[in-house]
């Protein structure tokens, strides 16, 4: 991971001071400035951590998904995956699914927390397969959100008569 430039670190320090003084308006403004410079600040017990801003939109939690995701296409079946780490497995699973699923199968993946860079890998695949793979990224981890809530969120997005939740350890070798 790269280290944030001094300008970004200074803004993050100023933000910590604003938060300690309960000046949340200034704190939010500084967070926005940090984001505009390509960084994300996360508060920790020891202060803050700065990480490069990902090249995809990250929603705060599952509740933010409704209305924030592109409309799912009409499809015979929607296949949904929950991404919770294991980037190599995510790639293997999705490549096999996309290679063996017809155009009448909608594929949607929910990344929970970008664990081990799995969300980044999902994004690379969504860019490689535009229109075939819909990606959703939330900051909330699966452990915090809950499996049932994640499945329910994905099911609510589906516009097909059939809905399947698939584990990323599944690798199709024939007609999906």
Residue 1 forms part of a structural domain: no
Is residue 67 predicted with pLDDT exceeding 80?
no
pLDDT in tens, 157-167: 888 899 999 99
**What count of other Cβ atoms lies within 10 Å of the Cβ of residue 85?**
18
C-alpha 26/C-alpha 7 separation (Å) is: 17
C-alpha 38/C-alpha 17 separation (Å) is: 21
- This prediction's pTM: 0.79
For range 146-155, the mean pLDDT:
94
Is residue 176 predicted with pLDDT exceeding 80?
no
Residue 57 forms part of a structural domain: no
Total domains in the fold of the chain? 2
Is residue 172 predicted with pLDDT exceeding 70?
yes
Task: For residue 94, give the CATH number of its domain.
Answer: 3.90.550.10
Same domain, 34 and 111: no
* Cα dist from 118 to 20, 26, 121, 174, whole Å: 34, 33, 5, 25
Q: Give the pLDDT band (50/70/90) at residue 134.
A: very high
In sequence order, which residues have a C-beta less than 8 Å from that of residue 55 and are 6 or more positions away?
123
Q: Give the pLDDT band (50/70/90) at residue 81.
A: very high
Is residue 136 predicted with pLDDT exceeding 70?
yes
Structural domain range at position 93 = 62-166
For range 72-93, the mean pLDDT:
92
Residue 130 forms part of a structural domain: yes
C-alpha 75/C-alpha 103 separation (Å) is: 8
pLDDT in tens, 109-119: 999 999 999 99
Q: Dihedral sign, CA of 75, 101, 137, 56?
A: negative
Same domain, 101 and 153: yes
Residue 159 forms part of a structural domain: yes
């Amino acid at each position: 991971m790269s280290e944030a430039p001094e300008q970004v670190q200074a803004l993050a320090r100023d933000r910590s001071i604003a938060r300690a003084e309960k000046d949340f308006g200034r704190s939010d403004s500084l967070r926005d400035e940090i984001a505009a410079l390509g960084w994300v600040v996360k508060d920790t017990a020891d202060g803050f951590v700065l990480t490069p801003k990902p090249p995809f939109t990250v929603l705060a939690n599952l509740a933010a998904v409704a209305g924030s995701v592109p409309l799912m296409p009409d499809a015979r079946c929607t296949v949904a995956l929950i991404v919770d780490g294991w980037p190599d497995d995510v790639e293997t699973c999705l490549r096999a699914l996309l290679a063996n699923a017809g155009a009448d199968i909608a594929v949607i993946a929910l990344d929970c927390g970008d664990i081990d860079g799995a969300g980044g890998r999902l994004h690379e695949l969504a860019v490689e397969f535009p229109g075939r793979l819909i990606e959703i990224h939330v900051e909330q981890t699966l452990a915090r959100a809950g499996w049932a809530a994640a499945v329910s969120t994905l099911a609510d997005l589906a516009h097909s008569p059939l809905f399947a939740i698939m584990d990323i350890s599944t690798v199709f070798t024939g007609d999906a």
